[in-house]
């Protein structure tokens, strides 16, 4: 069995694969104060709830955009699971050509998503990842990762309204009944939910215009289920795209 770990700024997502099949996954808040031992105890408890024996794990792959936590989880894999561990990097075999002048600037989460999406759908392709940041990745029909765009995530925007203004409250990120809000909360929800849908559709339009052709557009990330239904451009939502990409990269780069 394979343990896949996606370390993000807001959440850490863990998934267990039995062959090609994802049999369990969990999403927990990222906590910089936790130690290796604390994360290991939490994971072992989650495995126990799903009746997965930790000794059956024989591989670990992790992607991290939080550098201080990377060595912590590498230690977790080696100390608690005694597994062959891979950490995602641009030096891996991905089947893609990275067209960045400096490929090391590419976040590992974007690389993982691009690998999974291109192998599943081919190209040209645009991936919209609704996470702490909202990211856009553009991939050609030939498998060249061209780059993309990064915008503040939905929760960051909502938090900024609350923190930087005197009277606007914290709100729940749900779809309002209309674009014309009739109270403060529904007005904020309209600006955030419908406004971000417009942001997505316009960036997709501009990326396709620069590519000179229509692309298959898919969404992933923890907030995709909120925004994607409001977007005209998104054709499919893939909630486990990153975990699937990690499993694929492990199969393509396993050290034995």
Per residue in 49-59, pLDDT (tens digit) is 999 998 889 89
Would you say the pTM of this structure is higher than 0.85? yes
Task: Retrieve residue 254's tokens.
Answer: 């396993």
Asked if residue 174 has pLDDT above 80, the reply is yes
Average pLDDT of the chain?
94
- Who's near 43: CB < 8 A, 6+ residues apart? 14, 76, 80
Supply the pLDDT for residue 82: 86
The residue behind tokens 């863990």 is: 14
Asked if residue 217 has pLDDT above 80, the reply is yes
| Burial group, residue 60, by CB count within 10 angstroms (0-12, 13-18, 19+) | buried
* Nearest one of 190, 161, 160, 198 to 173, comparing CA atoms: 190
Q: Tell me the average pLDDT across 14-19.
A: 95
Domains of the chain plus CATH, in order, are: 2-87 (3.30.420.40), 123-239 (3.30.420.40)
Supply the pLDDT for residue 84: 78
222: confidence class by pLDDT, cuts 50, 70, 90: confident
Supply the pLDDT for residue 219: 97
Which residues belong to the active site? 109
Asked if residue 81 has pLDDT above 90, the reply is no
Asked if residue 83 has pLDDT above 90, the reply is no
Asked if residue 254 has pLDDT above 90, the reply is no
Supply the pLDDT for residue 256: 65
91-108 pLDDT, tens digit each: 999 999 999 889 889 999
131-171 pLDDT, tens digit each: 989 999 999 999 999 999 999 999 999 999 999 998 999 99
Task: Retrieve residue 134's tokens.
Answer: 């909202």
């Amino acid at each position: 069995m394979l343990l896949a770990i996606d370390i993000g700024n807001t959440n850490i997502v863990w998934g267990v694969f039995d062959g090609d099949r994802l049999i369990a996954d969990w999403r927990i808040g990222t906590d910089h104060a936790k130690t290796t031992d604390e994360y290991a105890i939490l994971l072992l408890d989650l495995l126990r709830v799903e009746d997965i024996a930790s000794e059956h794990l024989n591989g670990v792959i992790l992607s991290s955009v939080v550098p201080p936590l990377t060595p912590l989880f590498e230690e977790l894999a080696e100390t608690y699971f005694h597994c062959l561990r891979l950490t995602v990097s641009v030096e891996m075999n991905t089947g893609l050509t990275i067209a960045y002048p400096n490929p090391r600037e590419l976040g590992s989460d974007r690389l993982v998503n691009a690998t999974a999406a291109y192998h599943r759908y081919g190209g040209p392709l645009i991936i919209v990842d609704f996470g702490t940041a909202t990211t856009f990745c553009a991939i050609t029909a030939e498998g060249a990762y061209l780059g993309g765009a990064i915008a503040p995530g939905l929760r960051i925007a909502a938090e900024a309204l609350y923190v930087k203004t005197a009277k606007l409250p914290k709100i729940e990120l749900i779809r309002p009944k209309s674009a014309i809000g009739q109270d403060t909360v529904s007005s904020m929800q309209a600006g955030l939910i419908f406004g971000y849908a417009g942001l997505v559709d316009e960036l997709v339009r501009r990326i396709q215009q620069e590519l000179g052709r229509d692309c298959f557009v898919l969404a992933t990330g923890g907030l995709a289920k909120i925004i994607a239904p409001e977007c005209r451009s998104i054709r499919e939502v893939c909630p486990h795209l990153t975990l699937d990409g990690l499993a694929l990269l492990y199969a393509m780069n396993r050290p034995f």
